[in-house]
Amino acid sequence: MELSELKKSVWGYNKDSVCRYLVSLEEEMSAKLEEKDREAARTEERLRARIAELEKSLEESQKELLQMTETQETVKKETDTKEEEFEKILAGREQYAMQEIRAYADEQTKKAENYAANVGRLRRYCQQMLENLDREAAGLETEIERLEKDKPVFEPKLFRRKPVKTEMGE
């Protein structure tokens, strides 16, 4: 019922009409409220289901997180153990490498010392040879000088040419 449908009387609106109008408004409002309550109940039910779903998901996620944390701790312990083992192996290899390097360096040092000794001997030998050559050269120079002083003066007259006269008058 609408307000325009109310019957009027001398003193205003008819009482029965107003009562019926109010009853219809009340029924209408009650129906709307009931619909709202039903809608709220459906929404509440959906939200409760979603909350339960999220709580279940949260619980599963917490279990997974706990499991991952335990796995991570296990992996960390294993990693630490492997790292310690690797450091021991590396230290052993480093020590072995240093020994190899020292041995190689000692060997190269001995070779260099031998080369130096050989070079020293070669230098002394070359020096002796040069001194011997120098003495021999000095002796030869002395011999050459003596021979040049002692050489006879020889002027061959036998093969000397006489000037030839030509017909041209020379």
pLDDT in tens, 38-83: 999 999 999 999 999 999 999 999 999 999 999 999 999 999 999 9
pLDDT in tens, 103-146: 999 999 999 999 999 999 999 999 999 999 989 998 888 988 88
Q: Widest CA span of the chain, in angstroms?
A: 197
pLDDT at 35: 94
pLDDT at 155: 61
Q: 5, 25 in Cβ contact below 8 A?
A: no
Measuring CA to CA, how many Å separate 5 from each of 11, 14, 89, 144?
A: 17, 11, 102, 167
**Three-class DSSP labels, 65-98:** HHHHHHHHHHHHHHHHHHHHHHHHHHHHHHHHHH
Q: What is the pTM of this model?
A: 0.38
